[in-house]
Each structure stands twice: as structure tokens, then as C-alpha cells.
Amino acid sequence: MTIEDVQKDIIDEFSMFDNWEDRYQYMIDLGKSLPLIDPKFKTEDHIIKGCQSKVWVHADMDDDKVKFTADSDAIITKGIIAILIRVFSNQHPKAIIEANTDFIDQIGLKEHLSPTRANGLVSMIKQLKMYAIAYQTQLN
């Protein structure tokens, strides 16, 4: 699946819920299904700066695709990173770098986050793209 296909699926899933309470619960459930990061990567080097909560992200390259794992100490934040990892994991670095994230606005996520969580969301996207840039550089 392309990044755009995954984003479309997420938009469709969020549109099934009539209110944000249900959408938050769905995000929490997504966070619970997030493949856990290896505890050895839950270090300062893997923390995303700019998040109110602690969010750890690790990336590996496999068959020219970036694979992400993550964890967070907050349930909503864990749901947010789960959505982002679902979109960006198992994708080619160039696709991650070039991907737009308009789907976040389309599902209404950013407008329903506190300013500090919204800043954390931006930091998460930036960090995932930085990993992709690093791997793309290795491929060139």
C-alpha cells in the first residue's frame, strides 16, 4: 500500500465516528495495538524532542523500506504515534520525505489537540521524516 492509500483508509475509519470521544477511544485502541519498541531503544537518543509526553521512536531499514517502532508513556500520544507509524512504516524513504500529511487535518486531529500535543504531533512527523532523510542519504 502507498502512503496515500493508508491515509485514505485512516480518513475512512475516522469518518465512521460521529464524535471526538469515540475518535479518541479509537486512537487509544490503535495505540494499544502498536508493535512495541525494543526496550533497548527506550533511551534519550530515541526520544522525540518537543513532545509533552515521552515518545520513543526507532527506525530500521529493510528491503529499501523504513520500518518504525515506537512507544509513549501517554495513551493519546501513543495513539497519535501509532497512526503516524501506520502511515510511514514499510515505505521507501523518498515516499516518506515527499508525503504530505493533510490527512491529519482531514480527520480533524490537529484541531482537537491541545497546543502542546499539536506541537508534539509536528515534532513526531518531523522526526519520522528525519529518519527517512538519513536512510535516503545512505541509498544515494
Q: Which are the catalytic amino acids?
A: 51
Q: Closest by alpha carbon to 83, among 60, 62, 58, 107?
A: 107
φ/ψ of 61, rounded to 5, equals -110, 130
Angle made by CA atoms 67, 8, 104, in degrees to the nearest 5: 80
> For cell 515518545, what's the residue?
55
